[in-house]
Amino acid sequence: MMSAMCLIAITALIVLKTFDTIKARDKSVKMKALQTSVQLSIEIADLVHRLQIERGTRVLFISSKGDQSVRKTVLEAAKKTDEFAHKLGSWPQEIERCHFNSRDTFLSLVNNHRKTQSASNCTIENEITFYSSIIANMFDWLFKNGQSSGFDLPQEFIGYQMLLFGKENTGIERALGGSYFIRGHFSEAAELLWFAKQTSLGKDRLHTSMQLMPKIKDIYDKTLETRNGSLLLEMEERRNLILSNKKQNASVDSGRKWFQLMTAYIDGLLQVQNEAGVLIVERIKNDVTESENVWALKLALFGFVGLLMPFFVGTVYTIQGYAAKLHQVTKEVHEEKRRADTLLYQMLPLQVAEQLKSGQNVTAEQFESVTVFFSDVVNFTQICAKISPMEVTKLLNRLYGIFDDHIDKYDVYKVETIGDAYMVVSGLPERNGHTHVTEIALMALHLVELLESLRFGSDNKNDLCVRIGIHTGQ
């Protein structure tokens, strides 16, 4: 009987280890696939950069009504786009909405547009839309390609993608700005709004990318802020000039200068993009190495278990049982400690709570002077009668959420919140001389200012009034 039970236990454990090893191997394979797809995504991002430049030059060409000096730039940009497309090691197969799921169909689509759309029969809007739709489909593939691996994408890669989106907005901004200078103004308000929207989105998405991947900010500061501070200043001056939409002398040279200025900036973003891409590839490469090491380790452990398990199955099961119980008990102890600490911090000031936790005696103190702030909602009973309980809860959450978010700016201590009553004190538990009066007064004025826009009710049209009292003394 015991032999049969041991055999069943050994068989079950070996099966589990087998599945565990297979799972580790599958993870390693998927990580390699993710590495390959991310590498291709970064290459596609470089192709997008070439398309952005080509789009900008063609908008300049259309705006200049076929100026031959600009035409040379258009041809050079198209040539570089084709060269880069041919250099790609592979081509994504899932880009189908624009019917270019192969390199040849992509080049055919772009070349057909170049041949059929000229300065005489194409508008600026149509030109930007054509190239932007291709780029949008590539970005769409880029997202789906990363998600297809079955892993959560690293936060750094999301930041990298936001950088690409911001760079795309800046590319459209470059094209529209060039059109402005060549024509001397925007003839329609929609064009000005389009330009302003792209400018704002470009800045916001660049900022978001830096938050998601702080290394992007470091690279950006090194590449643009430090080395090209004058470029950024000049770019902002010209942006403001465009946003004013004051009529200028139409000038192909001015349009070209704007295009060159923005190209220098976007080339800087390209350098940021490339360096960030290298960091991401390196990060994923390390993850791949780690997953392979884990798989190799699990495979070795599987062999070890298969050889030695018959001799140690009883001991292992005993140890696992004790370990599971110990883990559960430890978890419960930590959870109870967390709950006790949370309750203690809610009831007592932090200093007093810490003294109690460390076993020290807490001596009662007398404070010569403190200032107390207390408030409640005017006509709270009548308000509760008019609106639903859920709306009352939301109202109080909004009200005291605003209070809680801003009192940390002042040297005060929140005592309690009961119903619609809110009490704050300054000057204890830490003495601050006589500044507690100023702290409470400034805080009260600030909270009153914040409440000016607070409304309640299903239509949010009812003003909310809060009664505030302040008392200073012992």
Residues 259 and 378 in one domain: no
447 burial type by CB count under 10 A (0-12 exposed, 13-18 middle, 19+ buried): buried
Please tell me the predicted confidence (pLDDT) of residue 336: 79
Structural domain ending residue among the three candidates 294, 321, 344:
294
Q: Are residues 38 and 131 in the same domain?
A: yes
pLDDT digits (tens, 9 = 90+) for 65-109: 888 888 888 889 899 999 888 887 777 665 555 556 788 888 888
Residues 166 and 285 in one domain: yes
Condensed to tens digits (0 to 9), the pLDDT of residues 421-468 reads 888 998 888 888 888 889 889 989 998 888 877 776 666 666 778 889
End-to-end Cα spacing for the chain: 80
For the whole prediction, is pTM greater than 0.85? no
Question: Angle 56-59-62 (CA atoms, 0-180°, nearest 5)?
Answer: 155
- pLDDT: is 313 or 249 the higher one? 249
Residue 178 lies in a domain: yes
Residue 378 lies in a domain: yes
Flag whether 85 is in a domain.
Answer: yes
In the 8-state DSSP scheme, what is residue 24? H
Residue 312 domain flag:
no
Joined tokens for residue 429: 């538990």
* Size (the chain), residues: 474
Q: How far apart are CA 140 and CA 133, in angstroms?
A: 10
Q: Which domain holds residue 102?
A: 2-294
Rounded to the nearest 5 percent, the helix, strand and coil shares of the chain are 75, 5, 20
Instruction: Answer whether 158's CB lies under 8 Å from 152's CB.
Output: no
Residue 4: pLDDT band (50, 70, 90) is very low
Residues 10, 127, single domain; the answer is yes
Task: Please indicate, yes or no, if residue 363 is contained in any of the structural domains.
Answer: no
Average pLDDT, the chain: 80
Q: What number is the average pLDDT over the span 316-342?
A: 75
Query: Minimum mean pLDDT among 213-227, 285-299, 321-335: which range?
Result: 285-299
Taking Cα atoms as reference points, which of 453, 472, 470, 450 lies closest to residue 462? 453
**Residue 329, Cβ neighbours under 10 Å: how many?**
10
pLDDT, tens only, 357-372? 676 766 667 788 899 9
**Could you tell me where the DSSP H helices lie in 348-368?**
350-357
6-15, 21-30, 248-257: range with lowest mean pLDDT: 6-15
**Can you point out the beta strands (E) in 378-453?**
413-418, 421-426
Rounded to whole angstroms, the Cα distance separating 434 from 220 reads 46
Q: What is the mean pLDDT of residues 275-291?
A: 79
Q: Is residue 355 part of a domain?
A: no
Burial class of residue 429 in the structure, from the number of CB atoms within 10 Å of its CB (0-12 exposed, 13-18 middle, 19+ buried):
middle
Residue 197: pLDDT band with limits 50, 70, 90? very high
Tokens representing 426 are: 């300054």
pLDDT of residue 3: 45
- DSSP codes of every residue in 103-136: HHHHHHHHHHHHHH--TTT--HHHHHHHHHHHHH
- pLDDT higher than 70, residue 9: no
* pLDDT computed for residue 200 by the predictor: 94
One domain, residues 271 and 164: yes
pLDDT digits (tens, 9 = 90+) for 225-271: 776 778 888 999 999 999 998 888 888 888 889 988 988 888 888 88
Could you give the number of structural domains in the chain? 2
pLDDT digits (tens, 9 = 90+) for 106-120: 888 888 888 888 877
Q: What percent of the chain has a predicted confidence (pLDDT) above 70?
A: 76
CB contact at 8 A, 345 and 397:
no
